Copies of this chain bind each other. A is one copy, B any other.
Amino acid sequence: MGGDLGPRSVVPACIRFLQRFPQATLKLFGPQTQLQDLLREFHSSPVIERLEVVPCEQVVTQQCNPVQALRRKRESSMARALQAVAAGEADAMVTAGNTGALLALGRSILGTVEGVRRPALGKSLPAETGSCFLLDLGANIDCSAEDLLQFARMGIEAQRVHTGKRQLKVALLNIGAEPHKGTEEVRRAAELFKAQPDIDYFGFVEGHDIFTGVVDVVVCDGLMGNVAMKSAEGVIRLMGQKAFTIERKSSFKRFFGQLAIKLLRKWRTQVEPARYNGASFLGVKGNVIKSHGGASSEAFYRAMITAKECAEADLASRLSKALAVSHG
- Which A residues fall within an 8 A CB radius of B? 63, 65, 99-100, 126-128, 138, 141-142, 173, 175-176, 178, 180-183, 206-212, 220, 222-224, 226-239, 241-243, 246, 253, 256-257, 259-260, 262-264, 266-268, 270-271
Which residue of the partner chain B has the closest CB to A238? B211
Are A263 and B267 interface neighbours, CB within 8 A? no
Are B235 and A175 interface neighbours, CB within 8 A? no
Q: List 21 A-B contacts (CB under 8 A).
A: A65-B180, A100-B178, A128-B237, A128-B242, A141-B175, A141-B182, A141-B183, A142-B183, A175-B227, A206-B230, A207-B226, A207-B233, A220-B227, A224-B224, A232-B234, A232-B235, A235-B271, A236-B239, A239-B268, A253-B263, A260-B264
Contacts of A176 in B (CB 8 A): 99-100, 138
In the A-B complex, the 7 residue pairs with the closest CB atoms:
A207-B230, A208-B234, A260-B260, A207-B231, A211-B234, A228-B231, A260-B263
Distance in angstroms from A177 CB to nearest chain B CB is 9
With the chains together, A63 CA to B264 CA distance in Å? 39
Pick the contact of A178 from B65, B180, B210, B222 — CB < 8 Å? B65
Are B227 and A127 interface neighbours, CB within 8 A? no
With the chains together, A239 CA to B275 CA distance in Å? 14
Which residue of the partner chain B has the closest CB to A186? B223
Distance in angstroms from A102 CB to nearest chain B CB is 13
Are A223 and B260 interface neighbours, CB within 8 A? no
Pick the contact of A238 from B128, B224, B262, B263 — CB < 8 Å? B128
With the chains together, A175 CA to B228 CA distance in Å? 10
Which residue of the partner chain B has the closest CB to A126? B238
Which residue of the partner chain B has the closest CB to A129? B241
With the chains together, A99 CA to B181 CA distance in Å? 11
Are A183 and B263 interface neighbours, CB within 8 A? no
Contacts of A246 in B (CB 8 A): 266-267, 270
Are B207 and A229 interface neighbours, CB within 8 A? yes
| Count of identical protomers in the assembly | 2
Pick the contact of A270 from B211, B228, B242, B262 — CB < 8 Å? B242
Contacts of A206 in B (CB 8 A): 226-227, 230
Are A210 and B232 interface neighbours, CB within 8 A? no
Contacts of A270 in B (CB 8 A): 242, 246
With the chains together, A267 CA to B267 CA distance in Å? 13
Are A235 and B238 interface neighbours, CB within 8 A? no
Contacts of A173 in B (CB 8 A): 227
Distance in angstroms from A65 CB to nearest chain B CB is 5
Contacts of A224 in B (CB 8 A): 223-224, 227
Contacts of A232 in B (CB 8 A): 207, 231-232, 234-235
Contacts of A266 in B (CB 8 A): 246
Contacts of A65 in B (CB 8 A): 178, 180
What would 9 more interface pairs be, CB under 8 Å, given A173-B227, A246-B267?
A63-B178, A175-B223, A182-B223, A207-B229, A212-B237, A239-B239, A242-B270, A256-B259, A256-B263
With the chains together, A207 CA to B228 CA distance in Å? 7
Contacts of A183 in B (CB 8 A): 141-142, 223
